[in-house]
Amino acid sequence: MDIQAFFKLSYGLYVVSARSGEKKYGCIVNTLQQVTAEPPMLSVAVNKNSVTAKAILDSGRFCGTVLTETADLHLIGTFGFKNSEAVDKFAAFSTKEDENNIPYLTEHAAARYSCEVAGTLDLGTHILIIGKVTEAEILSDEPVMTYDYYHRVVKGGTPPTAPSYKGNISHKPAQKAQWRCKICGYIYEGDPLPADFVCPICGQGADKFEKV
């Protein structure tokens, strides 16, 4: 099987969020999509070990938010590479709460969809969650973030927990020397890697980088 073939699939970049009691949960996904129009339903595949997945399944509700191209590595690092049990991921950003008190981003966001869980499918490493949309709202007219834009322009990595993880194989041959963060996959271009370099996605130091 040529796993490069999977690079031909296109995705967006989204935050799915949930609430369980007082606790707020959220994580980045690239697998949110509309699956039916009447009634409007979305599907999302979330890693089974994710605390956000547990909160969605416990509460039976979630909110999906479409990120815009303005979403930077600080936002993606916070929602993509930190744990909602350890930090309030929403604290540093402008947010609102939907009718189910689920937080969602109001900056770097194009639209949000509030959903109730209508079904699930166990996929082994991930769980596919079907959500019936109960509320939808446009948040801005900024261009939406595609996964391709994230890799090409934002130069972000893919965590091993993502459904589309392929070992962080580059889309194109490297032109310059590259250093890869062993934690999140972020690629630094240049040589040498500065000794005081801090990964802009996951916050780890230069000792966690390896030369590609």
- In terms of CB distance, is 56 or 181 closer to Fe ion? 181
- In terms of CB distance, is 110 or 202 closer to Fe ion? 202
Alpha-carbon distance of 165 to 202, in angstroms, equals 17
The strand pairing partners of 144, in sequence order, are 68
At a CB cut-off of 8 Å and minimum separation 6, what does 174 contact? Answer: 189, 212
The strand pairing partners of 131, in sequence order, are 42, 117
- In terms of CB distance, is 51 or 199 closer to Fe ion? 199
Q: What is the DSSP letter of 81?
A: H
Residue 159 CB, nearest approach to Fe ion (Å): 9
- In terms of CB distance, is 110 or 181 closer to Fe ion? 181
Which amino acid is residue 66, in one-letter code?
V
What is the C-alpha radius of gyration for the chain, rounded to an integer number of angstroms?
17
- In terms of CB distance, is 139 or 184 closer to Fe ion? 184
Residue 53 CB, nearest approach to Fe ion (Å): 22
Residue 13 CB, nearest approach to Fe ion (Å): 17
Q: Which residues bind Fe ion (CB under 5 A)?
A: 181, 183-184, 186, 199, 201-202, 204
Residue 187 CB, nearest approach to Fe ion (Å): 10
- Which strand (E) or helix (H) includes residue 29? strand 23-29
Q: Report the number of secondary-structure helices (H) and strands (E) in the chain.
A: 3, 12
Residue 40 CB, nearest approach to Fe ion (Å): 36
- Work out the burial of residue 121: count CB atoms within 10 Å of its CB; fewer than 13 is exposed, 13-18 middle, 19 or more buried: exposed
Residue 18: helix, strand or coil by DSSP? strand
